[in-house]
Amino acid sequence: MSVACLVRLVRCSGSPVGRSGLFQKALVPPPVQHDAHPELTVFSRKLQGPSGTRYSNTRFDPDSSGRLTTWDSFGIWDDRIDEPILLPPSIRYGKPIPKVSLSRVGCASLIGQRKENEDRYKVSQMTDSILYFAVFDGHGGPEAADFCQKYMEKYIKDLLAEEDNLELLLTKAFLEVDKAFARHLHFSPNGPGINAGTTATVALLRDGIELVVASVGDSRAMLCHKGKALKLTVDHTPERKDEKERVKKSGGFITWNSLGQPNVNGRLAMTRSIGDFDLKKMGVIAEPETKRIMLHHVHHSFLALTTDGINFIMNSQEICNVINQCHDPKEAAQRISDQGRNKKSNRLCPASQATPSHVTLSTLLSQALHYGSEDNSTIIVVPFGAWGKHKSSDTSFSFSRSFVSSGRWA
């Protein structure tokens, strides 16, 4: 889509413009429109849809395929989420960018069978152009997760004045929050001990199109692309060769508990975290790994941030499949997190009770409840332009693997 054409949309329709406004004002019935400027000539063709005849501008080519484009190929939220187009970013990036509204984001957090919910999350409009999403999974008490929930956004916002690169900005913010939490513990003698810590997975969405994720620990971020799960984070565990080598070079050691889980110095199931200051000299660092991706709303359905109470029950594709069955992101968040409610003790799934490779959604959720882990479960679901486009009649879910405790302690 050319800048000139987008400017024409602005002049014709005002600000901001929703889907219906664009149909009524920007795209008009005649098959050919001639403007005073030849380069702004717009060619339209009839499209038959559920709501009647529509006209599509063939100069819109969001996926650079060269094929004639319909409004449905922009995603348009499957006729269930009607959000306006962000005109300034659309002009700047040369493609229509739908607004991601915080009112559409789904969030849920359940305690499971733990005595306390140590998970925390936050969703906010950090600046006019940047949305903020974060999950924190505390261990050794909720204090580290509470601290990150309260201050992580503030440190990121303060750094925006001096750093435009969001990956570098998030790295600096994680390290600064870690130092600030250390100072907090130093001046709180009756507070939590030095073994309090938390995972942190933070996503920033700038201009509705630039997505940057930073993470430490084993909370995850996943993007649904054409119905397939695209992992944006990799767990920081001693099972990773690079992480294990760093711990050993720093003087730490790896042991395995009775469930076969590796732990740093027999205590911590992750190699990066915010807090855990007794293990900082043993290679447990707060520096995050980052990922930057430019969204294509025609293909990307949603972003999901999850804590390990969900990740130990369902892999990324299974989470993606279940969310794609749901009507809206809020329902999706509730359905995924429900696996943490009323859970029974962890045990191996007997081979005689293994589920067929394809099951109905209700069967999937009831069995997830039965075999789930006992940990806290938290999820954030952020819908994008292709929300609702990629559905399947049934969902694949494997119960042949073992479900083990996701506790931080050996």
Q: What is the pLDDT along the chain (410 residues), one digit of tens a residue?
A: 555 565 565 455 444 444 444 434 443 444 444 444 444 344 444 444 444 544 444 444 445 555 444 444 444 444 444 678 899 999 999 888 999 999 999 999 988 777 788 899 999 999 999 999 999 999 998 999 999 999 999 999 999 999 999 999 999 999 999 999 999 998 876 666 778 999 999 999 999 999 999 999 999 999 999 999 999 999 999 999 999 999 999 999 999 988 888 999 999 999 999 999 999 999 999 999 999 999 999 999 999 999 988 988 889 999 999 999 898 898 998 888 775 453 333 322 322 233 333 334 344 334 344 445 567 889 999 999 999 887 754 444 444 343 444 444 43
Q: Give the separation between CA 254 and CA 266, rounded to whole angstroms.
A: 7
> How many beta carbons lie within 10 A of that of residue 344, not counting itself?
11
Q: Considering the domain boundaries, does residue 402 fall inside one?
A: no
Q: Considering the domain boundaries, does residue 242 fall inside one?
A: yes
Q: Give the separation between CA 94 and CA 399, rounded to whole angstroms.
A: 45
Q: Considering the domain boundaries, does residue 403 fall inside one?
A: no
The domain boundary residue, chosen from 93, 126, 149 = 93
Q: Are residues 85 and 107 in the same domain?
A: no
The domain boundary residue, chosen from 76, 93, 110 = 93
Q: With beta carbons less than 8 A apart as the criterion, state whether 174 and 275 touch.
A: no
Q: Are residues 135 and 200 in the same domain?
A: yes
At 254 the three-state DSSP class reads strand
C-alpha distance from residue 202 to each of 99, 122, 205 (Å): 20, 9, 10
Q: Considering the domain boundaries, does residue 113 fall inside one?
A: yes
Q: Considering the domain boundaries, does residue 406 fall inside one?
A: no
State how far Cα 156 lies from the chain centre: 18
The domain boundary residue, chosen from 48, 64, 93 = 93
- Total domain count for the chain? 2
The span from the first CA to the last CA of the chain, in angstroms, equals: 56
In terms of residue numbers, what domain contains 52? 3-93
